[in-house]
Amino acid sequence: MLRELSIRNFAIINDLNVLFSEGLTVLTGETGAGKSIIINAVNLLLGSRATSRLVRTGSESAELEAGFDVKPDGNIAQLMESQGFDPKEGLIVRRVIARNDRHKVFINGRMSTMQQLSDITENLASISGQHAHQGLLKEDQHLQILDQFGGLLKQREAVFRNYHQILPLIKKLEQLKNNKSRQQDHLELLAFQKKEIQDASLFLHEDELLETEKRKLKNSELLCKSLYQVIEILYDGQGSVNERLVETGKHLDQVSAIDPSLTEKSKKIGEIVFGLEDITGELRQYAHTIETDTGRLEQVEDRLDAITRLKRKYGGSIEAILAHLDLVEKELQEVGNLDEQMDETEKELIRLHQETIGIAQQLSKKRKQVARDLAKKVENELSDLKMPQTEFNILLEPVPSTAGTASYLSDDGKLLLETGFDTARFLISPNIGESMKPLTDIASGGELSRVVLALKAILARTDSVETIVFDEVDAGIGGGVAEVVGRKLAALAKTHQVICITHLPQIAKFGGHHYKISKTISDGRTQTSVTLLSSKKRVEEIARMLGGEKITQMTLDHAEEMLERIDSDN
C-alpha cells in the first residue's frame, strides 16, 4: 500500500509531500493544476521510462520518492528478499531524474537497476489512466486479462516455458540436418585440418626458439669473431686482463708483508683471476657451439615458414593452432555422433510438443468457459454502471498454421504461440440492435471508461495488487452515471487502497480522504501544492466542482447535503 509520496523539482512541482491512507482517496482541482503530474510521478516510481524534460526549469535534477507498506508473507516481500532487501523495513523507492539524462534508482537506500525496480513493483500498484484505456484497446492484452481472471496464468506460463524450449531445439535440429547434408565434405575438411596440424608436430614456444636459433645462424661469423676478440682481451693476448690482474696480485702480495691489512685485497684479486678463467672457459665452450652450417639455417627458415602458414590458417600463435586442433577433434567426434544427436533432439521435440499441445488444449478449453463467465460479469458490472443493455463477448480464435510452419509449433492446422493456441478479442454492443464490434470501434470515451472500471472491479478480486490508481475514470460521464461510478469505487476501496483523480463531485463525495491540488504563482514561478481538506474545506471544494468559480450559498448547501448523504449511507 502506498503510504507516502514525495516530489521535488518535477515539472511544475517544486516540493510536495503527500500521505496516503487506506480506503478511497480522491484528488481534485482545477484543470492544469498538476493532478496528472502526480500520477506520472507514481508511474516513474513503478518503473516507467524517465526523460530529462520532466525536470523543473532551473533545476539540475528532479527527485521522486515513495514509501510502501509490504505484507510480510506476500509476493512483494519474497521478491525483495530475493534481491537482497529486507521487507520488514517496508519498500522505499527513490528516483533521481537528471537533466543530463544520467538518472538513478534507489531501493531502500541502495542504488539499484531499472530491472530490479520493475521486478519488485510489477504487481505493487495498478494505474488506470489514459494509458490503461489505450492498453485495453490493444487486443494482445485481452488474453492476459482473461487468463488473469480465470486463474490460468500457471498453465499459460507452462506453455510459455515449453514453447521457449522448443524453439532452440528446432534450431538445433535444423543445424544438425544441415551438418548431415554436408557431412562428407565437412568430414574431409576436418580430417585434412587434423592431419595437417598433427603432421607439423608443433610444440609450445617452438617458433620463439627457432627465431633465436635463426639469429645465431645468420650472425655466426660475427659472433665467433667477437667472442675470440673478447677471449684475446681477457686471457690469451699480450697484456691481457688476466695477465695484468696476476701482476697486480703479485704486487699486493709484496706489500702485504709490510701492511697485513692488504692481504684480504690480494685474496680478492686472486678470486677475480679464477673467476676470469671460468668466464673465459665458458666463452670458449659457447664459441665451439656456434654453427656456421648454411644447410641448418635453411632448415630453420623452412620450419618457421611452415609455422607461419599454419598461423595464418588457424590463428596467430602456436597456442591458437593447437586449440584449433582440439576443436577439430571434438567436432569430428560430434559429427561421428550426428545421427545419435538428431535422434535424441527429435525425441525431445516430440515429447515437448506432445506435452505442450496437451497443456494448450486444456488451456483453450478452460478459456472458453472463463470467457463466458467474464463476459457475463462484465455485462453485470456495466449494467450497474448505467449500461444495462450492453452485450459483451470475448471471441477466442486460433491462428491458422501455414505451410512453412514447423510441425512442432502447430497442431491440427492451428499455430502454437507462446500463450497457447488462442487469440482473444473483446467485443461489445452498447445498444440494442447494434452488432458486436471490437472495443477499438467504441467512439464514446465514457463507455470505454466504464468498461475499464468494470474490468478493474472484476479483476481486483483476483489481482494481487493492493493499490489501484484511477486517472480520467470519469472521462465522458456525468450525472447519475458518475454517482454509480463513485459507489463502485467506494466498494472497491473496501478491499484495496484506491486513489482517484476526478473532476466530478458525484465521485469525489465518496472519498474517505480528499486532497485538493492547487496551482499558484510565486516569485514569477508556477508551482503545485496538495492540501488535505477539512470537512469545511471539503464542502467548499465540492461546491466549486458543482458551480464553478462563483459559489453561492445554495451551491454550498447542495455540497454539504451531498456529503451528509454519503455519511448517513455509511
- Taking only the tens place, the pLDDT of each residue in 427-437 is 999 888 888 98
The per-residue pLDDT for 448 is 78
For 444-490, the DSSP string reads -HHHHHHHHHHHHHHHTTT---SEEEEESTTTT--HHHHHHHHHHHH
The per-residue pLDDT for 387 is 86
CA distance 193 to 296: 28
User: Given CA atoms 190, 192, 196, 201 in this order, what sign does their dihedral have?
Assistant: positive
Residues pairing with 61 in the sheet = 98
Residue 335 has pLDDT above 80, yes or no: no
**Could you report the per-residue pLDDT of 461-493, keeping only the tens digit for each?**
766 677 888 886 777 777 778 888 898 899 889
Which pLDDT band holds residue 338 (cuts at 50, 70, 90)? Answer: confident
Residue 445 has pLDDT above 70, yes or no: no
Residue ranges of domains in the chain, CATH in brackets: 1-124+465-532 (3.40.50.300), 187-335 (no CATH)
Q: Residue range 94-118: average pLDDT?
A: 91
Query: Using an 8 Å Cβ cutoff, are 471 and 129 in contact?
Result: yes
Phi and psi, residue 497, nearest 5°:
-75, 125
CA distance 364 to 350: 21
Q: What is the residue-averaged pLDDT of the chain?
A: 86
Residue 337 has pLDDT above 80, yes or no: no
The per-residue pLDDT for 463 is 63
User: What's CA 506's distance to the chain center, in Å?
Assistant: 43
Which has more pLDDT, 286 or 129? 286
The per-residue pLDDT for 464 is 61
Amino acid (one-letter) located at 354? Q
Q: Residue range 301-324: average pLDDT?
A: 91
Residue 264 has pLDDT above 60, yes or no: yes
**Could you report the per-residue pLDDT of 206-226, keeping only the tens digit for each?**
888 898 878 888 777 788 888
Which pLDDT band holds residue 459 (cuts at 50, 70, 90)? Answer: confident
User: Given CA atoms 255, 258, 259, 264 in this order, what sign does their dihedral have?
Assistant: positive
Dmax over CA atoms of the chain, in Å, equals 140
The per-residue pLDDT for 135 is 59
Q: Residue range 373-397: average pLDDT?
A: 91
Q: Which of 301-310, 359-368, 540-549 has the lowest mean pLDDT?
A: 540-549
Which pLDDT band holds residue 26 (cuts at 50, 70, 90)? Answer: very high
Sheet holding 497-501, edge to edge: 125-128, 467-471, 497-501, 24-29, 513-522, 525-532
The per-residue pLDDT for 395 is 95
pTM as predicted = 0.62
* Residue in 425, 377, 385, 417 with CA at minimum distance from that of residue 399: 417
Residue 444 has pLDDT above 70, yes or no: no
Q: Residue range 516-536: average pLDDT?
A: 86
Q: Which of 79-88, 107-116, 185-194, 218-227 has the lowest mean pLDDT?
A: 218-227
Residue 133 has pLDDT above 60, yes or no: no
Based on the number of CB atoms within 10 Å of its own CB, is 394 exposed (0-12), middle (13-18) or buried (19 or more)?
A: buried
**Could you report the per-residue pLDDT of 281-292, keeping only the tens digit for each?**
888 888 777 766
Residue 440 has pLDDT above 80, yes or no: no
**Could you report the per-residue pLDDT of 167-181, keeping only the tens digit for each?**
999 999 998 888 777
Q: Residue range 92-107: average pLDDT?
A: 92
Residue 176 CB partners (closer than 8 Å, separation 6+): 338, 341, 342, 345
**Could you report the per-residue pLDDT of 388-417, keeping only the tens digit for each?**
889 999 999 999 998 878 899 999 999 999
Which pLDDT band holds residue 18 (cuts at 50, 70, 90)? Answer: very high
Which pLDDT band holds residue 347 (cuts at 50, 70, 90)? Answer: very high
Residue 293 has pLDDT above 70, yes or no: no
